[in-house]
Structure 1
Amino acid sequence: MKSATSPAGRRSVLYHGLAAALVCGALAAAPSFAQDPIKIGFIGTLSGPGGALGQDQYDAFMLAIEQKGGKLGGVPVTVIREDDQLKPDIGVQAATKLLKSDNVALVTGVTFSNVMMAIHKPITDAEVFFIGSNAGPAPIAGKSCSPFFFSTSWDNDQLHEAGGQLTSDLGYKNVYVMAANYQAGRDAVSGFKRDYTGKIVDEVYTQVNQPDYSAEIAQLQAANPDAVYVFYPGGMGVNFVKQYRQAGLLGKLPLISVSTIDGSTLPALKSLAVGAITSAPYAPNIDNPQNKQFVEAFVKAYKRQPSMYAAQSYDAANLIDSALSKVQGKITDKQAFRAALKAADFQSVRGPFKFESNQFPDAGFYRVDVVEGADGAELKAISPITIKTRANFAAQCPMK
């Protein structure tokens, strides 16, 4: 056997070393056909009384990715999840981390409007595409719009314009209005007033995440309205509806709501919510092929019915999928990617979907009742709502 220190041994080591170097060099020079994963930041309220809403957003977004083999638009994606805890300052910290440390190419999610107002400008100023799937504060639909922000949900006023229209259509002449005291709550009342044609007996704003509404319920009883309209998302809605039922009012004094009794809160309320009427952009029984397969897949994966938060986030994933397909994964061509997003070339679970000039959707709303179903209480879309008066935020948006 030749020693490695012998002339023959040294020639053998040198030969094998050169061969290995040539192979490594050839590999390095070869073109890479595997694209690195695109990093997507997800920000949502994932803890506290509003945590179920953000969890629905996240679960539906991840379901869409799983259905596409871990890819969107044929490109592998990595999702980095952040909990904003329903605190704007925590939301800003999360956005900063995603932009500066994680170097994400996209941000999605956002559950509550106070967080959206805090993080919208830092993200869009960085020219990072931001696909919101729930919170829609009025300013970002109007004068503070950005070419880098798209929404798959609605602006806050529109959500409650539908609620005001429904309340008018039902013929209630005197209504008592209640909402949580933050950006979305104030937008809620503004939107409701735009399309409600009767008299507002009173409008009451309560603390965010307030657990006890007994004093307010006593006050509304004394006011003797024809109906009550409320906006209490997440745990707030669970507490309010339970206490409204305990006061003996549900079924006696009509309760109309938006984002209060929905797929995220019904599992906690069950039959306590039966008899309530809601205005909503989504219900699991909407009849189209995309929604049928979505509901089936979501229930199989998570053992619960999808909420509107889930539907809007599933739409966000499919919007991103369609846009990445159009640009062949080249998200760095921002003009082309924006055009691909604006095309909205995907099938929404909610039905027809297109963007207005402010990059918020022109999408439908429904009367959705809480009814007894085969497996307990369920949400059932009854009929479309035709909104007669809209706030034209798109006209205030300076971009084209």
Structure 2
Amino acid sequence: MFRKLCVAASTASLAAAAAAAAAAADPVKIGFITTLSTPAGYIGEDLRDGFNLAVKQGGGKLGGVPVELVVEDDGLKPASAKQAADRMVQSGIRLYTGVNFSNVLAAVVPGVTKAGYTYISTNPGPSVFAGEKCDPNYFVASYQNDAYHTAGGIAANELGFKRVAILAPNYQAGRDALAGFKRTFKGEVLAEVYTKLDQSDFSVEIARIRSLAPDAIYQFHPGGAGINFAKQYGNAGLGKTIPMLMPGFSMDARMLTATGTASEGFYTTGIWSVAMDNPGTRKFVQDFKTTYNRIPTDYAMQAYDTAQWIASGLKAVDGDLTKNAAFRAALRKADFSSLRGKFALNTNQHPIQDLYLMRIEKAAGGELAPKVVRKIVSDDRDSYAEACKMPS
């Protein structure tokens, strides 16, 4: 009888060990909810492809850990994104990224973090999660939404613009954008104009700009709206008489191609450019072009950096995301090489990084690209961190 019990116990131990080994071999699933449809779908494509490039380079692994991207299209609808996230949470997925609009992010993050799982933003950094509602399970790989825009205000001052009209879509990121610009701009804001998120015709706004005759405009319109705005602005002849200043994601590589020569001479602010002359950027741009047959946008770079950051965390816990505290501690170290150069975390788990002023000019091959004029902000820290009392 004793021998039978020993055999049974041994068999059970072997079965448990086999089950544990099988579980260890399963890839870590990463919930990747993003916008792949609508005119803004190319942003989600670049986020997905930038992230996947890092996975491909790692042979299907991040930090030596096999991973599987579970991709869902949110259709730019917060409710759809929340439903997708809820399904993934219920299925046990512990790590999330990919959302590219602030209003969608606001619908996804609370459910993920409440479940005790981790969300790392590839793109939006709304103020609501940077201050009083900061969370130990929420990290940002890109920027706090205000960053490009406070840099925009500084750039406008340095460029000598005294009277400016400012425009953005009427949603969280748009309101954050103009608030950020006004925080650092020292001149006069002649008009603060809010457009619809999915607007395609800007003739009324352009007519108003013409009548105001500002020194320049500052505008934030991502994706398809930004393409339409820039083309219509150029076609109206204002591009040659009233300079345009904008965040880099309002005139990314895909938008430059779509707008032709309309954006030449426009100014942008940002954390990175395809024209940056460093080995990491040169390799990333070439690898992305070879793999996807197009020039990467800032979104692709941010997603690539996100993947490398996640790799550092997965390596630290050997892919075991049940070790949540250890995974978070590893992420806080930010032990990876960012394509943008400097990258550290503030107390609210948003980046500390440099920002640059760029001008859209013809590159050696004749194509338009943002050329770095100069660094305008060093070690930028968002102002909301002071209100963040990070729970343990």
Q: Could you tell me the TM-score, scaled by structure 2's length?
A: 0.92
Q: Offset at 1:287?
A: 2.6
Q: Offset at 1:159?
A: 2.1
CA distance in 2 between partners of 1:388 and 1:306 (Å): 25
Q: 1:364 is paired with a residue of what secondary structure?
A: strand
CA distance in 1 between partners of 2:354 and 2:43 (Å): 21
* Larger Rg, first or second structure (1 or 2): 1
Q: Who is 2:229 aligned against?
A: 240
Amino acid at match of 1:336: A
Amino acid at match of 2:227: V
Q: Offset at 1:390?
A: 6.2
Q: 1:329 is paired with a residue of what secondary structure?
A: coil
Q: Who is 2:190 aligned against?
A: 201
Q: Who is 1:372 aligned against?
A: 362
**1:217-232 superposed matches below 5 A:** 217-232=206-221
**1:241-390 superposed matches below 5 A:** 241-258=230-247, 259-373=249-363, 374-386=365-377
CA distance in 1 between partners of 2:147 and 2:122 (Å): 15
Q: Who is 2:5 aligned against?
A: none
Q: Who is 1:66 aligned against?
A: 56
CA deviations 1:58-79 (Å, max 9, x no partner) are: 1000000000000012111110
Is the 8 Å Cα contact of residues 155 and 376 (structure 2) preserved in structure 1? yes
Of 85, 89, 92, the residue aligned with 1:99 is 89
Q: Who is 2:4 aligned against?
A: none
Change (3 A) 1:70 1:93: same
Q: Offset at 1:228?
A: 0.6
Q: Who is 2:150 aligned against?
A: 161
Higher mean C-alpha displacement, 216-225 vs 299-308: 299-308
Is the 8 Å Cα contact of residues 127 and 384 (structure 2) preserved in structure 1? yes
Q: 1:264 is paired with a residue of what secondary structure?
A: helix
Q: Who is 2:32 aligned against?
A: 42
Higher mean C-alpha displacement, 29-38 vs 120-129: 29-38
Q: Who is 1:17 aligned against?
A: none
Is the 8 Å Cα contact of residues 354 and 378 (structure 2) preserved in structure 1? no
- CA RMSD between the two structures: 1.9
CA distance in 1 between partners of 2:17 and 2:166 (Å): 66
Of 357, 374, 384, the residue aligned with 1:393 is 384
Q: 2:286 is paired with a residue of what secondary structure?
A: helix
The unaligned stretches of length 5 or more in structure 2 are 1-10
CA distance in 2 between partners of 1:156 and 1:45 (Å): 18
Of 128, 142, 145, the residue aligned with 2:117 is 128
Q: Offset at 1:280?
A: 1.4
Aligned length: 377
Higher mean C-alpha displacement, 204-213 vs 383-392: 383-392
CA distance in 1 between partners of 2:124 and 2:377 (Å): 22
Amino acid at match of 1:98: M
The unaligned stretches of length 5 or more in structure 1 are 1-23
CA distance in 1 between partners of 2:380 and 2:166 (Å): 19
Change (3 A) 1:28 1:200: same
Amino acid at match of 1:90: S
Tell me, yes or no, if structure 1 residue 110 matches structure 2 residue 99. Answer: yes
Of 136, 155, 160, the residue aligned with 1:147 is 136
CA deviations 1:46-100 (Å, max 9, x no partner) are: 1112111111111000000000000012111110001111111111111112111
Amino acid at match of 2:300: A
CA distance in 2 between partners of 1:29 and 1:223 (Å): 74
Q: Who is 2:7 aligned against?
A: none
Is the 8 Å Cα contact of residues 89 and 112 (structure 2) preserved in structure 1? yes
Q: 1:265 is paired with a residue of what secondary structure?
A: helix
Q: Offset at 1:36?
A: 1.2
Change (3 A) 1:75 1:301: same
Change (3 A) 1:264 1:141: farther
Is the 8 Å Cα contact of residues 280 and 366 (structure 1) preserved in structure 2? yes
Change (3 A) 1:388 1:347: closer
Amino acid at match of 1:218: A
Is the 8 Å Cα contact of residues 195 and 387 (structure 1) preserved in structure 2? no
Is the 8 Å Cα contact of residues 174 and 220 (structure 2) preserved in structure 1? yes
Q: Could you tell me the TM-score, scaled by structure 1's length?
A: 0.90
Q: 1:250 is paired with a residue of what secondary structure?
A: helix
Of 37, 41, 62, the residue aligned with 1:51 is 41
Change (3 A) 1:26 1:131: closer
